[in-house]
Structure 1
Amino acid sequence: MKYISLLMLSFTACGLLFGAAPAGAQATRTWVSGVGDDANPCSRTAPCKTFAGAISKTAAKGEINTIDPGGFGAVTITKAITIDGGGGHTASILASLVNGVIVNAGPNDIVQLRNIDINGAGNGLNGIRFLAGNTLIVENVKIYGFTQKAIDFEPNTAGRLIVANSTISNNLGATAGGVFVQPGAAGSALVDLVNVTASRTGDGLRLLDRSRASVQNSVFSGNSIGVVTQCSTAVCEIDLERSILSDNQIGVRTAGAQGTVRLSETGIYNNTTGISVAGGAVVSFGNNRIAGNTTNGAPTSTVSQQ
């Protein structure tokens, strides 16, 4: 009996040694709460307080969710992850004097931000600053109150930005802007904007060399420039379809010989200048509406629809 008891104790000890999860194991899904604590394991019943506290306890390709309303703090993301504030309540990041979200992930990493308000409090830097990664998806997000860019997308390799059902507003300052796309020297960018509103935010969309954007069902209003290409050494293009550019200083602008904006079913209304060309090309498919601007301007060419 004594031998059997010792043997059972030995098996139990082995089970504890080899079968238990490591103390520092990361969860695939973690949780934050306005009344949480970052010392917690970020489980549903013991949530963390901030996104920064939860991210270190969330496995790569995992997801951080919110339980209740709260301000969950600025965060730096270095791996594939989803942060989803959904649930019928307000999940916010208050980013006074700092960047709201910094993405500096691996070359194959996909980062998704959903159902979040990112508030710069009138003096924040950038709402989202993307330095490295494969793809950034921004869905149902409000970004406002920053002094630099709402989304500063600067991939150092081939990067993809998708923004859907989102609002960018009231980013004011000498360098303020909405979606700013400037790939690094070895980078390039593909951008999709669908159902996006950018208002009172410097330039609504600005593309630099080695970038392409497809824009659908979006509104650019009350900005310095609605959409602009600034491309002198490499091609950049904006395809703008079923969208509105109104009450901007300039609706559409191309600057630099390598930039092209294509317009289809788009209204350009009540801007100081509707279309401004300083190099590059603005191509119309002949189905746009340009009216009510102090100076309408004109496309550089019109092509037939197929």
Structure 2
Amino acid sequence: MKRFLKLLLSTLAVAFVFATTAHAQATRTWVSGVGDDANPCSRTAPCKTFAGAIAKTVAGGEIDVLDPGGFGALTITKAITIDGGGNLSGVLVSGTNGMVISAGASDKVILRNLTFDGIGGQGLDGVSILGAGNVLIQHCIFEGFAQTNVEINSSYSIYVLIEDSTMTGGHQGVAIDGSTGPGPVAAALKNVTIQNTQTALRTLRGHIDVTHSIFQNNAAYGVYAEVGSVNVESSLFSFNGTAVDAGSAATIAVSNVDFFNNVVAFGGDPGVISSAGNNRSTGNSVQGAPTGTMTVQ
């Protein structure tokens, strides 16, 4: 009987170890176009989708792409890095959002080297950000979404950086939506091109900084601040309906900006558009004028 009990306990202990290992989360996981979500998402046994991999990745860990593929929609509820590397790493969606970020107030989410495709206008938002501490979107392509390529609608403080990325089509390129929350909502665009939307950049609250970016062929507005503030520096507006416009509770500041061939360069809404006096403008059907100045030092 004692030998039987010892053998039984040993068997249970081994089974517990295997079960614990099977459910452990890795700091780095992998996906592949020929993977399987039943796999452990290791480099030699990758998963098929981002959703399959994130369940097996520890908070603060990283999901990497091994080879080209479409890896599906995803809801992110924790700190994570998703890196497509040098592969054709796609998120193709129809009738839904590409990714929803609903993480904690101190979580950092990084999306890098990814292509978000709404399949000819059938997708809703490319990335919908409902909450996180920091979000970095870097070297990404957005196309084919019906609503907003990147929508920021957080109920608490959040900082979003979009860098070296391109957005084509959709109702809006980047938007800060929602009512005023308990803390600052801020975004920055660096080396971003937004084309063929209705409104390329829009804010209903918070603050947006823009540098070295291009707003081209957007039917209604390049930048429209309804509430909040936007600073634009060293950027280009061309062939837009109205390049920049500010509502009564908003301010826009422009410095070293080119306004070429827009229908209207400076909109006439009652907000304040301040200029550093170093901008260039030609070919606009209606020039308009800044309503404020900035101190040049």
Q: For this structure pair, what is the TM-score category when the shorter chain's length is used for normalisation?
A: over 0.9
Aligned residue for 1:23, secondary structure, equals: helix
Supply the distance in 2 between the matched residues of 1:206 and 1:68 (Cα, whole angstroms).
Answer: 35
Q: Shift in Å at residue 16 of structure 1?
A: 4.1
Q: CA deviation at 1:183?
A: 4.1
C-alpha separation between the residues in 1 aligned to 2:15 and 2:51?
Answer: 31
2:279 is the counterpart of 1:280: no
Cα RMSD over matched residues? 2.1
CA–CA distance in 2 between the matches of 1:149 and 1:303? 32
Residue 189 of structure 1 aligns to which amino acid in structure 2?
A: V
Match of 2:181 in 1: 186
Deviations 1:126-175 (A, max 9, x none): 0000111111110000011000000011011011110000000022xxxx
Matches of 2:288 and 2:72 in 1, distance apart? 45
Q: Unaligned stretches of 5+ in structure 1? A: none
Structure 2 unaligned blocks of 5 or more:
none
Q: 1:157 aligns to what? A: 156
| TM-fit CA distance, 1:10 | 10
Query: What is the TM-score with the length of structure 1 in the denominator?
Result: 0.90
Q: Residues of 2 paired with 1:128 and 1:184: CA distance?
A: 19
The answer to whether structure 1 residue 65 and structure 2 residue 64 are counterparts is yes
* Alpha-carbon distance between aligned partners in 1 of 2:21 and 2:178, rounded to the nearest angstrom: 40
Matched-pair contact (CA < 8 Å) for 1:125–1:148: yes
Alignment match, 2:108:
110
Contact 1:286 1:304 in 2 (8 A): no
In structure 2, how many angstroms separate the alpha carbons of the residues matched to 1:184 and 1:28? 36
Q: Distance in 1 between matches of 2:96 and 2:17?
A: 43
Map 1:231-250 onto structure 2 (within 5 A): 231=227, 236-250=228-242
Residue type of the partner of 2:28? Answer: R
- Aligned partner of 1:267 in structure 2 is 258
Calculate percent identity across the aligned residue pairs: 41
| 1:123-138 equivalences in 2 (<5 Å) | 123-138=122-137
* Structure 1 residues 52 and 18: alpha-carbon distance in aligned structure 2, compared to 1, 3 A threshold: closer
Residue 220 of structure 2 corresponds to residue 228 of structure 1: no
Q: Which amino acid aligns with 2:217?
A: G
Local SS of the residue matching 1:124 = coil
Matches within 5 A, 1:81-120: 81-86=80-85, 88-120=86-118
Q: Residues 184 and 131 (structure 1 numbering): CA distance in 2 closer, same or farther, change over 3 Å?
A: farther
Q: Provide the TM-score with structure 2 as the length reference.
A: 0.93
Q: Offset of 1:241 from its aligned partner?
A: 0.3
Partner Cα distance (2:230, 2:181) in 1? 21
| CA–CA distance in structure 1, aligned partners of residues 175 and 295 of structure 2 | 31
SS of residue matched to 1:125? coil
Alignment partner of 1:118: what SS? strand
Instruction: Provide the residue aligned with 1:177 in structure 2.
Output: 172
Q: 8 Å contact 1:179–1:204 — kept in the other structure?
A: yes
**CA drift at 1:201:** 1.5
Give 1:202's aligned residue: 198
TM-fit CA distance, 1:186: 2.1
Moved more, 183-192 or 292-301: 183-192
- Name 1:141's counterpart in structure 2: 140
